[in-house]
Amino acid sequence: MSSTNQQRRDFLKQSSLAASAAFSPYFFSNPQTLADETRSPNDRFRIGVIGSGGMAGGNMNAAKDWLDVVAIADVDEGRRESFSNRFSGGKADTYNDYRKVIERDDVDVIHVATPDHWHTKTLVESMLAGKDVYCEKPMTLTIDEGKLIRRVQKETGRIVQVGTQQRSTFNLFVKAMAIVQEGRLGRINKLEVSIGGAPASPALPVAEVPQGLDWERWLGPAPMVDYRFLQPEATGKKRKPRAHTNAHYEFRWWYEYSGGKLTDWGAHHVDIAMWALRLNGQKDGPVSIGGTAKHPVEFKDGYAVQNDRYNTASEFRFSVKFPGDTEMVIKHSDNGILIEGDKGRIFVNRGKLTGAPVEALDSNPLADDAIQKVYKDLPMENNERKGHWANFLNCVKTRQEPISDVHSHMEMLNVCHLAGISARFGRELTWDAKAEQIIGDEQANAFLGRPYRKGYEIEV
């Protein structure tokens, strides 16, 4: 058996796509070009990784068939060294300063997988240095950062894929989009986006910075604060495997470094909801966003009053209104996206795609090219995270815009960021999507951007 056939068989075995004949013809006529072309060492991509934590590990596992990790930057020495051992057999060069990775001529592509407050600076500097980038979601911490990235990406012509891999999950989310695109739900008027709540924490004591962690650089553009850490057993609750902290992984629950669940999972599920709206002909952005949000701490003028514990919204329900009487609800309970039109409704999450229009596919399947069309005729290989990387690397070769492009990511991330601003002020916001401004609320409008700590400004 030829190796291409073997790869195809392996792919079929692994992928639940094999179960769906509806969109098999395209896949089977589309050989795994990356796997074929990157077999020789010279054909493999050389990647520089910025931020070698949990997600970078998952990503390098997904893409390891096609690339070699040659340079790693992390402000935590232990993390960058163990990442190098794990993904390059200790051969990759390791740095505390990410700029050393960006400036290397032998690095073809960059992977940004830092906490969110570092994404914009590292992504913009990578593009300016002529690098193509796979940047983890959420791409930015603020709406203004999206505007900057959009401009720099246009000026430099670099290829940027955002790590919203649900856009390459063909058997669930893309199939759901194909159902929408074929008009089987009719006109969409209601979307319910469930993204789960965020944890609260007890007060976290100031702790000694662990050896090897450059805390000042970890904070980077964010305000200078103490490192905090609480052993899981100190809470009296089993909280495995993670301790409470304001650093690794748990940065998600601090507005200084992230947007909480609203951007952590919002970047995935609001993304799918917005994709559905666009495929359904909704060209405009939202006009208002408001609702209720509960924070683990009190807020005053948009800022948490206490600085010693998690502060992002733990429970929430927002109503996002679009022109034409379309409503998107974003809520903390459950996980998945309900898409409702005047002809039917479907529900999709990472485990299932259900609803009468899905059952109807048995007798009335999707068109052969339905998935391909939703995927904008872009290179398709594999599924989920591996498929998302394949799309990026193929686009680096073809110079096409990948499936999770800067522009559409930013449009949907604006919704998540606006929900965060609305939560912090506890009031409804009116949004001018064309001008990308909040109307009639200067205090909230000031939160479209953020100040950068001295020495960590973004220079373009």
Ligand X SMILES: NC(=O)c1ccc[n+]([C@@H]2O[C@H](COP(=O)([O-])OP(=O)(O)OC[C@H]3O[C@@H](n4cnc5c(N)ncnc54)[C@H](O)[C@@H]3O)[C@@H](O)[C@H]2O)c1
Q: Give the whole-angstrom CA distance, residue 46 versus residue 122.
A: 18
Tokens of 91: 């051969």
- Binding ligand X (rule: CB under 6 A), the pick from 93, 108, 136, 381 is 136
- Binding ligand X (rule: CB under 6 A), the pick from 48, 146, 220, 266 is 220
- The interface region with ligand X, picked from 71-79, 85-93, 152-160, 192-200 by CB under 6 A, is 71-79
* Listed residue (295, 292, 333, 330) closest to 200, CA to CA: 295
- Binding ligand X (rule: CB under 6 A), the pick from 17, 22, 50, 406 is 50
> Please, what is the minimum distance in Å from the beta carbon of residue 50 to ligand X?
5
Q: Strand (E) positions, 277-366?
A: 288-294, 299-300, 303-304, 315-322, 326-331, 335-341, 345-348, 353-354
- The interface region with ligand X, picked from 46-54, 196-204, 357-365, 399-407 by CB under 6 A, is 46-54
Q: What are phi and psi of 340, to 5 degrees?
A: -125, 130
Distances (CA, A) of 293 to 14, 302, 314: 41, 13, 8
- Binding ligand X (rule: CB under 6 A), the pick from 54, 78, 183, 440 is 54
Residue 53 engages ligand X in binding (rule: CB under 6 A): yes
Residue 98 engages ligand X in binding (rule: CB under 6 A): yes
Contacts with ligand X: how many residues (CB under 6 A)? 27
> Please, what is the minimum distance in Å from the beta carbon of residue 451 to ligand X?
18
- The interface region with ligand X, picked from 111-119, 170-178, 305-313, 449-457 by CB under 6 A, is 111-119
Tokens of 454: 């001295």
> Please, what is the minimum distance in Å from the beta carbon of residue 368 to ligand X?
30
- Binding ligand X (rule: CB under 6 A), the pick from 27, 32, 62, 74 is 74
> Please, what is the minimum distance in Å from the beta carbon of residue 240 to ligand X?
16
> Please, what is the minimum distance in Å from the beta carbon of residue 249 to ligand X?
5
Locus of tokens 């006109």: 187
Taking CB atoms, the residue at the shortest distance from ligand X is 53
- Binding ligand X (rule: CB under 6 A), the pick from 48, 146, 163, 355 is 163
Residue 79 engages ligand X in binding (rule: CB under 6 A): yes
Residue 113 engages ligand X in binding (rule: CB under 6 A): yes
Residue 137 engages ligand X in binding (rule: CB under 6 A): yes
Residue 217 engages ligand X in binding (rule: CB under 6 A): yes
Distance in Å from the first CA to the final CA of the chain: 53
- The interface region with ligand X, picked from 114-122, 170-178, 349-357, 410-418 by CB under 6 A, is 114-122
Q: Give the whole-angstrom CA distance, residue 31 versus residue 131.
A: 27
H-helix segments, 399-441: 406-425
Q: Which is nearer to ligand X, 137 or 386 (CB)?
A: 137
Per the rule left: phi > 0, alpha: psi between -120 and 50, beta: everything else, 98 is: alpha
- Binding ligand X (rule: CB under 6 A), the pick from 17, 35, 69, 75 is 75
> Are residues 233 and 244 in contact, defined by beta-carbon separation less than 8 angstroms?
no
Name the 3-class secondary structure at 42: helix
* Listed residue (101, 94, 98) closest to 121, CA to CA: 98
Distances (CA, A) of 189 to 180, 293, 324, 359: 12, 24, 8, 21
Q: Give the whole-angstrom CA distance, residue 71 versus residue 109.
A: 11
Q: Give the whole-angstrom CA distance, residue 237 versus residue 283.
A: 47
Instruction: State the helix-helix crossing angle for 406-425 and 266-279, rounded to 10 degrees.
Output: 120
Taking CB under 6 A as the criterion, which residues in 227-266 touch ligand X? 248-249, 264
- Binding ligand X (rule: CB under 6 A), the pick from 38, 88, 126, 165 is 165
Residue 192 engages ligand X in binding (rule: CB under 6 A): no
> Please, what is the minimum distance in Å from the beta carbon of residue 402 to ligand X?
14
- Binding ligand X (rule: CB under 6 A), the pick from 12, 55, 329, 433 is 55
Residues that bind ligand X (CB under 6 A): 50-55, 73-76, 79, 98, 113-116, 118, 136-137, 163, 165, 217-218, 220, 248-249, 264
